[in-house]
Structure 1
Amino acid sequence: MLQLPTKIAESIIDYIDDDRSSLLSCSMIASSWRVRSLAHLFRILQVTQSPDSFDRWWSSSTAPPVAFVRVTIEEFARLMSEFAPLVRFVVHLQIGDWMDVGAHDDPFTAFLAHLHLPAGNSVERLSLFGHFSVRPEHLRRNFGNVTVIRTHSRQYTSLRSFAACLEALSTLTFVEVTGNEFRRSRARPARSLSPSGVVLRPNFSAGCCVTLKMDTNSRILPGILRWVSLDPSSFASVALVGFIPSYENGQLTDKPLGHLLDDPTSPILRTIRSLDVGFEEVMLSAFTRLVNHLPMVNSVCCTVAFQNLWPTTLSRAFARELWTPTLRRLEIVTEHDFTNPLLMHKTWEALSLALRDPKWRDLDVFVLRLKWRQTVPLFVQEPIQRKLDNLFRDSKVSVFLEGKRATLG
Structure 2
Amino acid sequence: MVVTLPVVVVDRTIRRLTAMNDRPNSPRSRIHMPLELVDIIIDYLYDDIESLSACSLVARDWRPSTRYHLFRDLRISGDNIFSGYDSFLHFLDKSPAICPFIRTLCLSGIGKPKIASGEQCLIGPYVLVTLLDRLTALHTLTLDQIVWGGVLRRSRKGFWPVKWPPTPRPFGTLRLHRVESHDFGSSQYTKSILQILQAFGAVQKLEVLSVEFDNMPSSDVARLHTPSALAVDHLVMHKVYTSQAFVSGLHNTATTGSLTSLDLQCNSTSDVQSFGTLIRAAGLQLKNLEVDLRRLTRQVATCQFFTSSSHTANI
| TM interval, short-chain normalised | 0.5 to 0.7
1:21 to 38, 50, 55: 50
Distance across 2 between alignment mates of 1:261 and 1:117 = 35
Distance across 1 between alignment mates of 2:271 and 2:199 = 29
Alpha carbons 1:209, 1:236 under 8 Å: kept: yes
Alignment of 1:2-401 (within 5 A): 3-49=32-78, 73=85, 75-97=87-109, 103-106=119-122, 108-109=123-124, 112=127, 115=130, 119=134, 121-129=136-144, 130-135=146-151, 140=165, 144-151=169-176, 152=178, 154-155=180-181, 157=188, 159=190, 162-182=193-213, 185=214, 189-191=216-218, 194=221, 196=222, 198-200=224-226, 202-204=228-230, 208-215=233-240, 218-219=241-242, 221-230=243-252, 231=254, 232-241=256-265, 244=267, 256-258=268-270, 260-261=272-273, 267-270=277-280, 271=282, 273-279=289-295, 283-289=297-303, 292-293=306-307, 295=309, 325-327=313-315
How many angstroms does 1:48 deviate by? 1.1
Letter in 1 for 2:238: K
Structure 2: unaligned runs, 5 residues or longer = 1-16, 18-30, 153-161
Alpha carbons 1:26, 1:33 under 8 Å: kept: yes
With over 3 angstroms needed to count, the CA separation of the structure-2 counterparts of 1:229 and 1:83, relative to structure 1, is closer
How many angstroms does 1:178 deviate by? 2.4
Larger RCO (CA under 8 A, 6+ residues apart): 2
How many angstroms does 1:190 deviate by? 0.8
Alpha carbons 2:109, 2:147 under 8 Å: kept: no
Sequence identity of aligned pairs in percent?
A: 16
Alpha carbons 1:140, 1:168 under 8 Å: kept: yes
Give the aligned CA root-mean-square deviation in angstroms: 4.2
How many angstroms does 1:213 deviate by? 2.0
Letter in 2 for 1:154: E
How many angstroms does 1:135 deviate by? 4.2
Distance across 1 between alignment mates of 2:135 and 2:88 = 18
Distance across 1 between alignment mates of 2:228 and 2:86 = 35
Letter in 2 for 1:121: T
Secondary structure of the structure 1 residue equivalent to 2:87: helix
Distance across 1 between alignment mates of 2:198 and 2:125 = 22
Letter in 2 for 1:212: M
- Number of aligned pairs? 255
Distance across 1 between alignment mates of 2:220 and 2:278 = 13
Letter in 1 for 2:250: V
With over 3 angstroms needed to count, the CA separation of the structure-2 counterparts of 1:126 and 1:203, relative to structure 1, is same
How many angstroms does 1:37 deviate by? 0.8
Alpha carbons 1:222, 1:260 under 8 Å: kept: no
Secondary structure of the structure 2 residue equivalent to 1:261: helix
Alpha carbons 1:94, 1:126 under 8 Å: kept: yes
Give the TM-score normalised by structure 2.
0.62
Letter in 2 for 1:112: V
With over 3 angstroms needed to count, the CA separation of the structure-2 counterparts of 1:134 and 1:125, relative to structure 1, is farther
With over 3 angstroms needed to count, the CA separation of the structure-2 counterparts of 1:5 and 1:141, relative to structure 1, is farther
Distance across 1 between alignment mates of 2:59 and 2:171 = 32
Alpha carbons 1:153, 1:180 under 8 Å: kept: yes
Distance across 1 between alignment mates of 2:167 and 2:77 = 18
Letter in 1 for 2:236: T
Distance across 1 between alignment mates of 2:140 and 2:258 = 19
Letter in 1 for 2:239: M
Distance across 2 between alignment mates of 1:180 and 1:30 = 47
Give the TM-score normalised by structure 1.
0.50
